[in-house]
Amino acid sequence: MINSLVELLAFFMLKEYCDNNKNYYKQQYTTYTKEKMRTFIYLSLLSAFLCFTLSTNITAGENWQDGIVKWFNAKAGYGQIISQQEEDIFVHHSVIEGSQKKLMTHQRVQYQAIKEQGRWKAIKVKIIN
């Protein structure tokens, strides 16, 4: 808030200084506004990137982990995998690699997962024969 007040004060001081020369004032005002908008856009993009990065805490990378299918509903197209740490991982049929897009209960799989909004979600799943 203090920065906003300082900027506002500086703007009014600039306006008063430039009232005698309208062209100079318009040029300075336009430059000031463009710079402020550019800064606002950069900060908005940076904050959006940071929010996305922090909300998708990727822990898998290329590390495949072993798991067992707890249950899978073929009609609905989703189910759960139990990790070796006994955590439930949500799995959707779209992340299953290969032509077979359904899983069987107690089937062994390898997966990569991310944690989104406090829950684990598989991003890649391979069936182990």
- Phi, psi at residue 104, to the nearest 5°? -110, 150
The whole domain housing 33 covers 2-56
- Residue 121: strand pairing partners: 90, 114
Positions of the chain with pLDDT lower than 50, given as ranges? 56-60
> Do 37 and 91 reside in the same domain of the chain?
no
Q: Are the CB atoms for 83 and 65 separated by under 8 Å?
A: yes
Residues 77 and 109 in one domain: yes
- E strands, the chain, are 56-58, 65-73, 78-83, 88-92, 108-116, 119-127
Last residue in a domain, options 37, 56, 75? 56
Contact call for residues 109 and 69 (beta carbons, < 8 A): yes
| pLDDT, position 113 | 92
